[in-house]
Amino acid sequence: MMPGSIRLFVVDALHAGANFALSAAQAHYLGSVMRRSVGDALRLFNGRDGEFSARIERIRRGKATVIVEGLLRPQAPETDLWLAFTPLKRDATDLLVQKATELGVAALLPVMTERTNASRVNLERLAAIATEAAEQSERLSVPRLHPPAPLHALLADWPAERILFVALERSDSPAIRPASGPAGILIGPEGGFSPLDRTLIQNGHQCTQVSLGPRILRAETAAIVALALLQAPGYG
């Protein structure tokens, strides 16, 4: 059993003996929700220094400080997979961000296409969901969350050496296959890609169109399936 089932993401540097305050939300979670007290163990990670065991040093009225003990897992390279998705209805977007984080994505890139319905994205809310999913799934990092960008800008800024798989329904594109090396997947909105979007994608040098099978999947399902298949048969 790992020391302390509670696992929290922090921004502070982690090393044996480090000593710092948790956020007010984390202190509330530890004290009021989980009923933890002084001396109780927990685990911490920050995306840079690996995972450490720690103990609660003080906890009182929405404030908590911790003392970091030993290294449990050194920082290690993680899946190098990015997900570009168009904001959906709130619940669907939340689900997509949570599941994509569990499936190991390194970066989440909201993209605005012609048929994207949501006019804005609550980045703070999505960051909180991604952080919670990273804590729960024992990742050593939280995915990077980019500000929304229009499709043409996403494609223009996409790194040349990173293959971008584009999930296209109702096409005779080849089935999606496991990726080796840096890759990303682009999932369209509920209304599908418009003719203009498709032209941009066809002209995108890094783009490879792929199919996810004969059925029409909801965008959030398509994202989950694509992320699983890109990592099949083994998860690195």
Supply 236's token pair: 């690195």
Using CB under 6 A, pick the residue from 19, 191, 196, 203 that binds ligand SAH. 191
Residue 209: strand, helix, or coil: strand
Residue 30: strand, helix, or coil: helix
Which residue in this structure is represented by tokens 């449990």? 72
Which CB, 56 or 219, lies closer to ligand SAH? 219
Tell me the closest approach of the beta carbon of residue 211 to ligand SAH, in angstroms: 4
Using CB under 6 A, pick the residue from 140, 188, 200, 201 that binds ligand SAH. 188
**According to DSSP H, which parts of the chain are helical?**
24-28, 90-102, 123-136, 151-157, 195-203, 219-230
Report the distance separating Cα 51 and Cα 44, nearest Å. 6
Q: Which stretch binds ligand SAH (CB under 6 A): 20-28, 60-68, 127-135, 205-213?
A: 205-213
Which of the residues 54 through 83 are near ligand SAH (CB under 6 A)? none
How many whole angstroms from its chain centre is CA 33?
Answer: 25
Which of the residues 207 through 236 are near ligand SAH (CB under 6 A)? 211-213, 215-217, 219, 222
Supply 205's token pair: 């040098």
The answer to whether the beta carbons of residues 44 and 14 sit under 8 Å apart is yes
Which CB, 57 or 190, lies closer to ligand SAH? 190
**How many of the chain's residues bind ligand SAH (CB under 6 A)?**
18
Question: In 3D, which of 170, 151, 178 has the Cα closest to residue 217?
Answer: 170
- Site for ligand SAH contains 190 (CB under 6 A): yes
The answer to whether the beta carbons of residues 164 and 208 sit under 8 Å apart is yes
Tell me the closest approach of the beta carbon of residue 47 to ligand SAH, in angstroms: 29
- Site for ligand SAH contains 3 (CB under 6 A): no
Tell me the closest approach of the beta carbon of residue 91 to ligand SAH, in angstroms: 16
Q: Position 64: which residue type? A: A
Which of the residues 133 through 172 are near ligand SAH (CB under 6 A)? 167-170
Residues forming contacts to ligand SAH in the complex (CB under 6 A) are: 167-170, 187-188, 190-193, 211-213, 215-217, 219, 222
